[in-house]
Structure 1
């Protein structure tokens, strides 16, 4: 697979993408295949797939960082062969409780003090699965990229709020392999009309356009496998390895991805890309630490996804000072990472979740900055 065409796409304008970063990867919430079952989905749609971890600006920065003191402060049992997120979670059931963990606090401070970067790509499975309905419309019908995103966002929020009835509709037609496009379109049109009680403009526009497709086919919803919504998550791997082609990337073993890369290797200027390797996490502490940050990000995205901006703001306003300080330090690590490269944050998700992520990144936690390292 040639990556140069992909990298030259105007949508992938990434600053500092050619720098020799050292990136470590793990993943979380990987159902391998996301599909429809007789009862719904095979995986909870609230569990975003996330690929990412920690990283360094270059080899010199990597050599200047030691994990010895950090692992000593974790105070793990002597029979522990590697550290996992469960070891620092300390039984926390949600993101705010996670910020109360002393091990999480120690880890976030270590990231900040050592100027490490956080990089991540996520996929909202429900969003990814249904946007082909919108993308099947002609460009002239959906206006522009921004309008397209708003239509997708409204459809996603409606499907999320009325998931039971929407999923029944998808199951009925073996989505995304539609055989009767006319009947499917009629059912979607009727469904939107029945549940769009707030008379959302984008939904009504989409419904009216969709009505004109009764005599057409939705091109992205044919010649697919019945009920297979996401065959695998290789796209996020391809993206990360392609965008940062001059980085050295070390990934925890994921044998399906390794198989695909071996079968169809990444190439640049007709040469095989050799910028990555797969490693057993037991042999690499930085991959282990990537598991920790992904665990934190998993809780973070779940927290944001399950609340409105107003509810998020209310929670932040009520947390105790120590948790607020940890939230601020996590926010600072994220923002410092994005200042190095905006490519360290990537998501296949709705405008709604992007709005909440940006709210977190810009929120004023009103803490004493003197309690935070200024390195």
Structure 2
């Protein structure tokens, strides 16, 4: 099966740098394989952020001698490879206090090696088609410029009573709404919003309510028909394909992942007549994948910590960082800045605006919007 890069990753004038000839090395974390609606809510008890990413090399760059890094990190000879849990363990704050983590991040910075990632909030991804389906209708085009704000508000309010919202979705067969139920579904979503109206409402909250009020007359929700009932996420292979297509002049090297390999192993990604190279390798044989394992393991913990921690608590914790924690956070900030200057597509956050604001406030000290301070 062949796909053209422009079909899966259309060109965006806001992007820069992704036409370069990188070699991107990947690992992943928090791949739950599938996300399903069930009688109890979801098929999983944890829904941490899925992260796909690792390190990126420009032509002529090298990670150096991986055996030297093993010695620096005091990795036992019995360990077949460098893994994240050999560098740091525990919750995010304990991980951030790891000297070995700092040594690994410093290793990358000393060699001017950047990082890259797709960071996916899987709950937000699972419900954003509610908003996307409405704004895709030309009658609601005035709301399209604010689709991110609207999706942010929906996610924020849903989290206040997630189990009830999931139960409502399941009653409608989401994401495959039966014919003729779209208007009633929208009406019930709006009723949920009103029943859980946030104390820190702001203009986007009112806009979401207004859009849903008007959309109760809609006959069909474009992205919520012809899907598989109860399947919020059927697999994560599409994120692999999108990544490959986003860097059409690069070489992509993934850690072995049998489920994904089975899904995309027979696919060719074409840029015109040229095939975009990608492969799956044994991490034990590839030091770049081992470094990617550490990077992605850390990022997975970081992004989940950001999602789950209210901003006031984040700002308090930022003031209370130990010397090692502060140093490691600064190393992460430097790696992100290096990568963003090179190419803004390297760092891809498929999350809510609230999550982005919280991350920027915690990592860079950016000023957050007032509604988050009341959380």
SS in 2 for 1:220: coil
Alpha-carbon distance in 2 for matches of 1:327, 1:207: 38
- The aligned counterpart of 1:251 is 254
Alignment match, 2:242:
239
The verdict on how the C-alpha distance between 1:315 and 1:46 changes in structure 2, with shifts beyond 3 A counting, is farther
Unaligned runs of 5+ residues in structure 2 are 367-375
Q: 1:263-302 alignment to 2 at 5 Å?
A: 263-273=266-276, 275-302=277-304
SS of 1:121's equivalent in the other structure is: strand
How far did residue 280 of structure 1 move? 1.2
| RMSD across aligned positions (CA) | 2.1
8 Å CA contact 1:331, 1:360 repeated in 2: no
Q: How far apart are residue 103 of structure 1 and its match?
A: 1.3
TM-score (norm 1): 0.89
Q: CA deviation at 1:158?
A: 0.4
- Tell me what 2:61 maps to: 61
- 1:369 matched to which residue of 2? none
**Partner residue, 1:161:** 160
User: What is the match of residue 123 of structure 1?
Assistant: 120
Cα-to-partner distance string for 1:274-294 (whole Å, 9 max, x where unaligned): x21110112112111111111
User: Secondary structure at the residue paired with 1:246?
Assistant: coil
SS at match of 2:44: coil
Q: Which moved more, 1:66-75 or 1:148-157?
A: 66-75
Residue 309 (structure 1) aligned with residue 311 (structure 2):
yes
Q: CA deviation at 1:100?
A: 1.6
1:183-211 Cα deviation digits (max 9, x unpaired): 32232222111111435543343333333
For residues 99-157 of structure 1, give each alpha carbon's deviation from its aligned partner in whole angstroms, at most 9, with x where no partner exists: 22121121111111111111000211111111111111124425255411111100010
> Residue 208 of structure 1: which of 210, 214, 217 is its match?
210
Looking at structure 2, the residues matched to 305 and 285 of structure 1 have their Cα atoms a distance apart, in angstroms, of 30
Greater Cα offset, 121-130 or 216-225: 216-225
Give a deviation string over 1:146-183, Cα, whole Å, max 9, x none. 41111110001001122121111112222111123233
Quick one: which of 191, 214, 226 aligns to 2:229?
226
TM-score by length of 2: 0.89
Q: Would the aligned equivalents of 1:25 and 1:52 in 2 still touch at CA under 8 Å?
A: yes
CA contact (8 A) 1:50 1:123 kept: yes
Alpha-carbon distance in structure 2 between the residues aligned to 1:271 and 1:53:
25
Partner of 2:87: 88
Match in the other structure for 1:336? 338
Match of 2:104 among 100, 103, 107: 107
Query: Which residues in structure 2 correspond to 1:37-52 (within 5 Å)?
Result: 37-44=38-45, 46-52=47-53
| Aligned mates of 1:125, 1:264 — CA distance in 2 | 25
**How many residue pairs are counted as aligned between the two chains?**
358
Deviation, 1:264, is: 3.3
Instruction: After TM superposition, give the deviation of residue 76 of structure 1 in Å.
Output: 2.1
Further displaced range: 139-148 or 77-86: 139-148
What is the alpha-carbon distance in structure 2 between the residues aligned to residue 139 and residue 30 of structure 1? 36
**What is the DSSP-based 3-state SS (H/G/I as helix, E as strand, rest coil) of the residue aligned with 2:52?**
strand
Please state whether the residue corresponding to 2:41 is helix, strand or coil.
Answer: coil
Structure 1 gaps of 5+ residues are 365-375
- 2:193 is the counterpart of 1:192: yes
Deviation at 1:24, TM superposition (A): 0.7
- Post-superposition offset of 1:53: 0.4
CA contact (8 A) 1:24 1:286 kept: yes
Shift of 1:46: 4.4
Partner SS state of residue 31, structure 1: coil
- In 2, Cα distance between equivalents of 1:314 and 1:93: 17
